Amino acid sequence: MPHCWRPTAFSRPSKTINSPTSRGFAVNEKRSILAAILLCSVSVVAFALNVPELSGRVNDYADLLTPAAEARVEAILARLEADKGAQVVVLTIDSLQGEQLEEYSLRIAETWKLGREAQDDGALLLIAKNDRKMRFEIGYGLEPVLTDVMTTRIRNQILTPSFRAGDFDGGIERAVEAIDGLIRGTSTLPPPSASDTTADLPPRIFGALWLLFLVPFVWVVVSTNPFQWFLYFFLIPFIGVGGITMIAPSAGPLAVVLWLIAAPIGWSFIGRRRKKLKRSKGRRRSGWSGGSWSSGGSWS
């Protein structure tokens, strides 16, 4: 990967120099910086792990399955798609080659566009053999049945024990059968263990603490006059992370959209309330400032 060089202090012209040559040097310096940034970006993209071709419902690029097991899994998923319309795909790869599992699985799901567009009922099971990692990506339409808790149980109760025993055929086939049962409403998963019920608790606690940390900054945006545009845009990635950790990876963009819409509305609403309050206080002061007598009163 090429190195990304940054200019040193010696490459910056002095502020007292104001000649065409110095201005040209500054322009060239800016162009050099932009070129370096662009080169770094291109390098990251060039070394990103490629998305493989979608060749079927079972894409066993790591050769984990025997031909017979692959045919059985393919048949289960084909019947599910024919009966319920949901498109579930299994992908196995040798290695992530240093790429983050979450980013790569999401990139595959977005590239392959699994499921029907209107229902968004696609699901992906990604298994990285050499990294010993696996992940589910679930479309919005299947999230009510393929919840985080259920996919965690499939991973902990079926996939992990089978893979540790070297039984890739049985693990993947039973996991697909469990997915099929959940979507059909005929799940036969064993009762959850204590570790399964609390497996996704730490990320949600982190998400709650993260959003709590953002509360004062959000209040500054919606309550300060004039509107804090810098902080408004600065908080976008933090709002997205909160949505991802609290709900699901697919909820991050939705949280950002809600923030972009709700923050200006909240600021406008609070601003109008503040103006009304100031006007009402002003009227009360003018009504009592003319003398010691008021226009009305009570005996209490």
- Nearest one of 152, 162, 158 to 195, comparing CA atoms: 152
CATH of residue 131's domain is 3.10.310.50
Contact 80, 65 (CB under 8 A): no
Q: Which segment of 115-119, 153-157, 179-183, 236-240 scores lowest on mean pLDDT?
A: 236-240
pLDDT at 89: 97
Q: Kindly report, residue by residue over 35-91, the tens digit of the pLDDT.
A: 444 444 444 444 568 999 999 999 999 999 999 999 999 999 999 999 999 999 999
pLDDT, position 203? 61
In a domain, 47, yes or no: no
Place of tokens 């299947």: 142
Query: Do 64 and 156 fall into the same domain?
Result: yes
In the chain, pLDDT over 90 holds for what percent of residues? 43
Domain end: 149, 173, 197, which one?
197
Please tell me whether residues 77 and 188 are part of one structural domain. Answer: yes
Residue 52 · residue 91 · CB < 8 Å: yes
Residue 75 confidence (pLDDT): 98
Q: What is the pLDDT of residues 119-147, one digit of tens each?
A: 999 999 999 999 999 999 999 999 999 99
Q: Are residues 256 and 158 in the same domain?
A: no
Do both 226 and 242 map to the same domain?
yes
pLDDT category at 184 given cuts 50, 70, 90 is: very high
The answer to whether residue 297 sits within a structural domain is no
Residue 299 inside a domain? The answer is no
Is 156 inside any structural domain?
A: yes
Say how many domains are in the chain.
3
Q: Is residue 77 domain-shared with residue 163, that is, in the same domain?
A: yes
Please check whether residue 259 lies inside any domain of the structure. yes
Assigned domain for 293 exists: no
- Contact between 108 and 78 under an 8 Å Cβ cutoff? The reply is no
Residue 31: domain span: 1-15+25-40
What pLDDT score was predicted for residue 49?
A: 84
Tell me what pLDDT residue 88 has. Answer: 97
From residue 204, give the alpha-carbon distance in Å to each of 211, 213, 214, 243. Answer: 10, 14, 15, 10
Q: What is the dihedral of CA 145, 88, 196, 170, to 10 degrees?
A: 130
pTM of the prediction?
0.54
Per-residue pLDDT, 30: 45
Query: For a pLDDT cut of 70, what percent of the chain falls above it?
Result: 65
Both 182 and 218 in one domain: the answer is: no
Identify the residue with better confidence: 19 or 71: 71
> Within this chain, do residues 83 and 191 fall inside the same structural domain, yes or no?
yes
The verdict on residue 296 lying in a domain is no
Are residues 280 and 175 located together in one domain of the fold? no
State whether residue 192 is helix, strand or coil. Answer: coil
